[in-house]
Structure 1
Amino acid sequence: MVLRPHLPDLLAALPLPTLAVDRAERIVAMNAPAQALLGRGALDRHYINVLRQPAVVDAVEQCQQDDTPREAQYLASDNGNDTTFRVHVRKVTGMDYVLLSFQDITQVTNASQMRRDFVANVSHELRTPLTAMMGFIETLRGPARDDAPARDRFLGIMTGEAERMNRLVGDLLSLSRVESDERVRPTDKVDLRYVLQSTMRNLNPLAVEANVTLVATMGDDPLPLMGDTDQLLQVFTNLIENGIKYGGVGKDVEISVETTLRDPSLRGPAVRVTIRDHGPGIDPVHLPRLTERFYRADSHRSRALGGTGLGLAIVKHILNRHRGRLKITSDLGDGARFTVILPMDVA
């Protein structure tokens, strides 16, 4: 009991939200982070009325009974965002206090959930073509063994499913690479005009096959910036290819370039590249989630056109590495506009 006058000072020195509960089950001290989490009115109140969550209340009660440290989870909400804390409950040796410290593990919890979702999504994406191929193999070994037209048709479908799995694995590897490099700033000077011209040249056969015209407005001046040529080619290949696939047969895909000495998004010199198609457009409700892994505005159409649901996620991570931005706007019936904003090198 000698240290009680110094208890608030001791808690104030701790960085984590921390409070002390005495033998009378009242909160007798708490530091500023704990007050921000639980409210200033928590002091001198019964801990059950403040914490209110059974797992934490049980941990405190049991710790008071047997002096054994406990852990529990505490869920809070901050401006509408759920926050998860790991609460460490420990009896102070030689004193009749139980200390509760709150460790924010929201990021760890979210990362774990993302991993689970990612594994579930990958498993789902692979299971469909694998199930189809196994069914066709069984049919080819049985009823369709001597049916040449059916055999050729099934082999064609199996080839398509195998190509789909191959694209998915390729995109997963690509996503893994760009995520690992995301915090490493590019150091090479790149002419974005060359990147765009190369991308259009590579995709021209696909555009011709789809009866789509690529219309570029980019001027003759170089567009210098610090970047990774291969990754920027991947960004614009993905976006222009999407425009060709989803823009509709016989429609134009427009690529326009605009430079500015001060872009409001980057607060400095920037180049904006807008890829616009004239297809059916995207319902605005889907726009905020388009860069999420495996998210598709139209899953059936995307799969039919060979999409893996990872392309825009890859684009987002590459642009993050380049300190760039991606803005997507669309109205149903009026096509979609994907604008890439990249900082220019004007030195």
Structure 2
Amino acid sequence: MNVFAPLLGSDRPSAVRWLLVGTLGFLALLTLLEVLPWQVALAVAALAFAAAIVFSTGRFATKARKDTDPVSTNGFAGLSVDHLAEALADPLIIIDANGAIVLANAAARAAFGDFRPGTLLQLRFRTPEFQAFVARLLSDEAGPQMTEYAERVPIERWYRVVGRPAGDGSGLSVLVFKDQSEVRRIDRMRSDFIANASHELRTPLASIAGFIETLRGPARGDAKAREHFLQIMHEQTGRMARLIDDLLSLSRLEMKTYANPSDSIDLTNLVRGVIDALRHLAEEVGVEIVREGADGPVPVLGQRDELIQVFENLLENACKYGQTGGRVVVTVDAGDGVADGPSVTVRDFGPGISEEHIPRLTERFYRVDVETSRAQKGTGLGLAIVKHILTRHNARLTIRSELNEGASFTVHFAPR
């Protein structure tokens, strides 16, 4: 690197250069006239040279900082508090020392409605916990304050609210609302799932333990009772095995990535294979399976084994719970390929389902009739598995039913 570049470069002020040149010339003249010893002149020249470099470099650095300062180049200094607040995705409210609303960003207005400036925050959020939170925030208590707030109309939403003073002596406080609704929903679902799974496993285990105790005691020498109890124990262990298999299926589905399957599947052949596989079950319960709709290829994107599991669940449910109708109709529709994609409808002619049960049928362990479900060896997880698989396939399930009119379950695929 050239040490003279900072001084002699074209971007240096010309006054610095000429001052240095003049100083060096004057010192040289004094030396020639023997006014100054050459050692003193050389020392003075070195000091002048160093001072010129420091002065010039400092000015250059200052200019460079100004040229590259993001505050200046990006216009950050021109942003107002309103602009910054509006850019936040979380609801934000600023209040004054009396609790009156000074500013509410767009996210806050979308979540809680419009705020009129000057309105007391305590009049909008009336829960005792929130009132105490605001009181602490407006008092002299040091540090940020935190509380939880729930909105239950029109839908339930939970927020974690953090408030803190906005600078010393400003009298303003900032409240940020962090939506916790999805976290709470997942926690509640997990708790319900564990409770339901424990209950479903505890019942057959208790039965088996009771039968074992009976076989070791009063029924020790009764061959007929022993055979009866062993048969029940076999059924209960089979029920637990089915439940564990379904739980593992759900776990595997939840662990998979959300990338949609991309294999091309012929829906017509797949449904025909499922019908052939379950025809023996239908004959055992006195149900005839009728296939209608498209006969030619109906291609969809999917994962073959998972789609087989979907239609096996739907067809098996139709045969078990709609067996009083004596018939199940499976219809394959190719769709128009533009607005409507392919679909498969499984319809039974059994007792039907009450309207209030339909929205909850895909919940884990939800049953319309617990005794009937257990009698049919159901685990309460079949439709939950169907829902998970269809979500992965960018498909959806619609359910229509009326009492004494049967029920229809339709799988809709997206157009290709």
The answer to whether the superposition gives a TM-score over 0.5 is: yes
Report matched runs for 1:118-137 at 5 Å.
Answer: 118-137=193-212
The alpha carbon displacement at 1:86 in A equals 0.5
Report matched runs for 1:10-29 at 5 Å.
Answer: 10-29=84-103
Q: Root-mean-square deviation (CA), in Å?
A: 2.2
Q: Does 1:307 align with 2:367?
A: no
Q: Which residue pairs with 2:310 in the alignment?
A: 235
Contact 2:310-2:386 within 8 A present in 1 as well: yes
Q: TM-score, normalised by structure 2?
A: 0.75
Higher relative contact order (CA closer than 8 Å, sequence separation 6+): 1
Q: Mind listing any 5+ residue stretches in structure 1 that lack a counterpart?
A: 1-5
SS of the residue corresponding to residue 276 of structure 1 reads: strand
The Cα offsets for residues 253-283 of structure 1, whole Å up to 9 and x where unpaired, read as 22122222157xxx34x22222122212222
Contact 2:88-2:107 within 8 A present in 1 as well: no
The alpha carbon displacement at 1:330 in A equals 1.6
Q: Aligned in 2, Cα 1:159/1:32: closer, same or farther, shift over 3 Å? A: same
SS of the residue corresponding to residue 330 of structure 2 reads: strand
Report matched runs for 1:1-347 at 5 Å.
Answer: 7-8=81-82, 10-63=84-137, 64-77=139-152, 80-94=154-168, 95-181=170-256, 183-248=258-323, 251-262=326-337, 267-268=339-340, 270-343=341-414, 345=416
SS of the residue corresponding to residue 103 of structure 1 reads: strand
Partner Cα separation in structure 2 for residue 184 and residue 143 of structure 1: 58
The alpha carbon displacement at 1:67 in A equals 1.8
The Cα offsets for residues 18-76 of structure 1, whole Å up to 9 and x where unpaired, read as 22232233333332322344444442133322322222222232233212212101112
The alpha carbon displacement at 1:11 in A equals 3.4
Q: TM-score, normalised by structure 1?
A: 0.90
Larger Rg computed on CA atoms: 2
Q: Aligned in 2, Cα 1:341/1:35: closer, same or farther, shift over 3 Å? A: closer
The alpha carbon displacement at 1:198 in A equals 1.5
Q: Give the aligned residue type for 1:57.
A: Q
Partner Cα separation in structure 2 for residue 30 and residue 343 of structure 1: 41
Q: Give the aligned residue type for 1:324.
A: A
The Cα offsets for residues 71-95 of structure 1, whole Å up to 9 and x where unpaired, read as 10111245x1111111001123413
Q: Percent identity, please.
A: 43
Q: Which residue pairs with 1:3 in the alignment?
A: none
Q: Give the aligned residue type for 1:196.
A: V
Q: Aligned in 2, Cα 1:10/1:249: closer, same or farther, shift over 3 Å? A: closer
SS of the residue corresponding to residue 261 of structure 1 reads: coil
The Cα offsets for residues 92-132 of structure 1, whole Å up to 9 and x where unpaired, read as 34133221111111111111111111111111111111111
The Cα offsets for residues 180-225 of structure 1, whole Å up to 9 and x where unpaired, read as 3362211111111221121112112212222222221244311211
Partner Cα separation in structure 1 for residue 109 and residue 355 of structure 2: 41
SS of the residue corresponding to residue 200 of structure 1 reads: helix
Partner Cα separation in structure 1 for residue 257 and residue 329 of structure 2: 29
The alpha carbon displacement at 1:144 in A equals 1.3
Contact 1:226-1:344 within 8 A present in 2 as well: no
Partner Cα separation in structure 2 for residue 343 and residue 128 of structure 1: 41
Q: Give the aligned residue type for 2:135.
A: E
Partner Cα separation in structure 1 for residue 318 and residue 330 of structure 2: 10
Partner Cα separation in structure 1 for residue 415 and residue 89 of structure 2: 41
SS of the residue corresponding to residue 291 of structure 2 reads: strand
Q: Give the aligned residue type for 1:84.
A: W
Partner Cα separation in structure 2 for residue 69 and residue 22 of structure 1: 16
Contact 1:21-1:98 within 8 A present in 2 as well: yes
Partner Cα separation in structure 2 for residue 111 and residue 211 of structure 1: 41
Partner Cα separation in structure 2 for residue 38 and residue 214 of structure 1: 53
